[in-house]
Structure 1
Amino acid sequence: MSKSPRNKTIDFSLADAPAGVLDRILHENDQLEDRNVVVDQTINGDAFKVLTRLPDQLADLAIVDPPYNLNKQYDGLNFKKMSDANYQAYTQRWVDALLPRLKPQASLYVFADWQTSIALAPVLERNFTIQNRITWQREKGRGALTNWKNGMEDIWFLTRSPHDYTFNVDQVKQRRQVIAPYRVDGQARDWEETANGRFRDTMPSNFWDDISIPYWSMPENTGHPTQKPEKLLAKVILASSNPGDLILDPFAGAGSSLVTAKKLGRHFIGIEQSLLYTAWGEYRLQQTSTGDSIQGYTDGVFWERNTLAAQHRHQKSNQTKLF
């Protein structure tokens, strides 16, 4: 069945991969010890094997989205739910492989659902400084008759050093519409009145309610079952790295973190076990240039959900001022 013209989902088969995509991918048996070979590349292979072959103290930031402790299928590869003790051992294995690849001032973000977090937390605390636990309200989730719908995920913000790490708070402010404007002597207080509405740029919190999961009409959407949004990854990357830094993702999926890193002027290395998902990510990278837009991130701030029209008006207004 053919897709709707508005359906932008990337889900081609390996047999139908665009020219040049598969040739660009590195594999776990390739030469991976040379930094010049692996930077800005996707690597198809087992993360536990590939990580140990990468150079030491390579990454400024790691983004880790491992399989949650659930029964889940990824391109024919089955991940089976474990006991908490076994999942903790699994987590410690990737931590041990990843740690030597991180610089002393590096940060790390680890994704989990609430059940997986219970097992994760003790392992993360033993190996890193836990700076915060972010709650992402992703909205989508199956309804339940005997429990609350699971519409949240955890994102653990970790650092190697308790105090020496990057955090660019001014890069991740959120623009909110002002409903009840407050004035002092007739002047706006902590908000701005524009031709497109009243807005306030607020300090970021650990509750993220402005990010939707990718859907079929978005160019970033793929057939990956647990894809993270570019907007979410942009918050992580802007906050905890600087232009030119290197982002390492050992469970890269369809390449969302790598694409976002490239758009934001960072270097990257991605590892993914599925060749199909790696191909989708590599295709996206080939379509991406530094400076390309990220939906929901405009004018250097993150906008609330359902404000795309306001963002377009704002961009148009700024372009008009230049001429």
Structure 2
Amino acid sequence: GWLKERVEEMRRVLKPAGSIFLHCDWHANAYIRADILDKIFGMNNFRNEIIWKRATSGSSKSVANRLGTDHDMIYFYSKSEDYNFIPVWTEYPAKEVDKRFKKSDEHGKYKDAELATYSQDTLEKLKRENRLIVNSSGKYRYKIYLDEIKGVLADDIWNDIPPVNSQAKERVGYPTQKPEALLERIIKMASNEGDTVLDPFMGGGTAIAVADKLNRRWLGIDQSAMAVKVTELRLQKQQDLFSAPYAVQLHKYDYDTLRYKDAFAFEAWIVRQFGGTPNAKQRGDMGLDGKAA
């Protein structure tokens, strides 16, 4: 249906080194992966099924006859074998810090590691920096400080990014709003400054706002005029002297424009807007009288 058509168009405009990230929940994830993404991008270009644990343990809605659901899926596909990928580092979990970095000195917490190969110059340098350790067996070891470590390489389970709560500063009130940290990780992982980010399901504008902050070029699309206005207001709040200019284009349809459209063009418009024949409410929203225009 409409999703398949949009994914086909997304692949068409994607650069060879580009990637797509499609977020969904459990309702249609199997269909989206097997019948849309695998077929359009090819199974050989599947990279990851990222699990975003968006709720803390015990906070998911209780369900009487099955397990609670507290995660969503983000499918990561590339257009080719030669694609942009920048490894993601996350902070050491507090438990890991306590477990691995048990000792500390005037420079901070550290762990010690074996000095397998070394030269006299290396030993002298470590001595000067007070990083050399000689254990009871006479083996050389050295200090690795916590602040020298990037962290740990992220895997495909992301449980360190909470959803946007009711008190969050970034909250704009859009029902499906995603946290900026989630989009920041994705954009940094798959693009460089100056690259272009396209979000054809713009919603509350998180991807666009984050792409703008990260000095990416961007393009956002949404059939909802409200989504466009919410995103525009969000961008206005974060603009400064160095922000690149942007344009907003709203396509409005009045009764006469739709009434006198070619029948097939009107049918195509209906499919794009609603994914099928409109119901009574949708016809009312369009200003139609319930009859084919």
**TM-score with structure 2 setting the length:** 0.62
Tell me the CA shift for residue 183 of structure 1.
2.5
- 1:289–1:179 CA distance, 2 compared to 1 (3 A): farther
Secondary structure class of the residue paired with 2:76: strand
Q: Which moved more, 1:204-213 or 1:93-102?
A: 93-102
Of 186, 189, 207, which aligns to 1:257? 207
Structure 2: gaps of 5 or more residues: 101-110, 114-132, 134-140, 244-293
Of 31, 35, 47, which aligns to 1:131? 47
Residue of structure 2 in register with 1:15 after alignment: none
Percent of paired sites with the same residue: 29
Higher relative contact order (CA 8 A, sep 6+): 1
Of 107, 111, 118, which aligns to 2:30? 118
Residue of structure 1 in register with 2:154 after alignment: 204
Tell me the CA shift for residue 118 of structure 1.
0.8
Of 229, 233, 244, which aligns to 1:279? 229
Tell me the CA shift for residue 199 of structure 1.
6.8
Q: Is the 8 A contact 1:262 1:288 kept in 2?
A: no
Q: Is the 8 A contact 1:175 1:199 kept in 2?
A: no
Within the alignment, does 1:269 sit opposite 2:222 as a pair?
Answer: no
Secondary structure class of the residue paired with 1:179: helix
Please tell me whether Structure 1 or Structure 2 has the larger radius of gyration of its CA atoms: 2
Matching of residues 120-269 of structure 1 within 5 Å = 120-122=32-34, 123-128=36-41, 129-139=45-55, 141-161=60-80, 163-169=81-87, 172-176=88-92, 177=94, 178-181=97-100, 182-184=111-113, 185=133, 187-189=142-144, 192-193=145-146, 201-269=151-219
Q: Is the 8 A contact 2:176 2:204 kept in 1?
A: no
Report the AA paired with residue 273 of structure 1: Q
* Structure with a larger share of its residues in helix: 2
Tell me the CA shift for residue 101 of structure 1.
1.6
Report the AA paired with residue 100 of structure 1: R
Q: For residues 8-64 of structure 1, give each alpha carbon's deviation from its aligned partner in whole angstroms, at most 9, with x where no partner exists.
A: xxxxxxxxxxxxxxxxxxxxxxxxxxxxxxxxxxxxxxxxxxxxxxxxxxxxxxxxx
Tell me the CA shift for residue 210 of structure 1.
0.5
Tell me the CA shift for residue 240 of structure 1.
0.3
Q: Which moved more, 1:123-132 or 1:282-291?
A: 282-291
Measure the CA separation in 2 of the matches of 1:188 and 1:218: 39
Secondary structure class of the residue paired with 1:244: coil
Structure 1: gaps of 5 or more residues: 1-88, 293-323
Within the alignment, does 1:288 sit opposite 2:217 as a pair?
Answer: no
Measure the CA separation in 2 of the matches of 1:247 and 1:238: 11
Measure the CA separation in 1 of the matches of 2:51 and 2:213: 25
Residue of structure 2 in register with 1:59 after alignment: none
Tell me the CA shift for residue 91 of structure 1.
2.5
Tell me the CA shift for residue 188 of structure 1.
4.0
Tell me the CA shift for residue 126 of structure 1.
1.1
Measure the CA separation in 1 of the matches of 2:176 and 2:66: 22
Q: Is the 8 A contact 1:262 1:289 kept in 2?
A: no
Q: For residues 104-148 of structure 1, give each alpha carbon's deviation from its aligned partner in whole angstroms, at most 9, with x where no partner exists.
A: 221000001123111111120111111111000000642212211
Q: How many residues align?
A: 196
* Structure with a larger share of its residues in strand: 1
Q: Is the 8 A contact 2:8 2:40 kept in 1?
A: no
Q: For residues 160-217 of structure 1, give each alpha carbon's deviation from its aligned partner in whole angstroms, at most 9, with x where no partner exists.
A: 10x2100011xx210113121243346445xx345xxx97611111110100111222
Secondary structure class of the residue paired with 1:287: helix
Measure the CA separation in 1 of the matches of 2:16 and 2:83: 9
Measure the CA separation in 1 of the matches of 2:195 and 2:231: 20
Q: Is the 8 A contact 2:89 2:150 kept in 1?
A: no
Q: Is the 8 A contact 1:263 1:289 kept in 2?
A: no
- 1:156–1:188 CA distance, 2 compared to 1 (3 A): farther
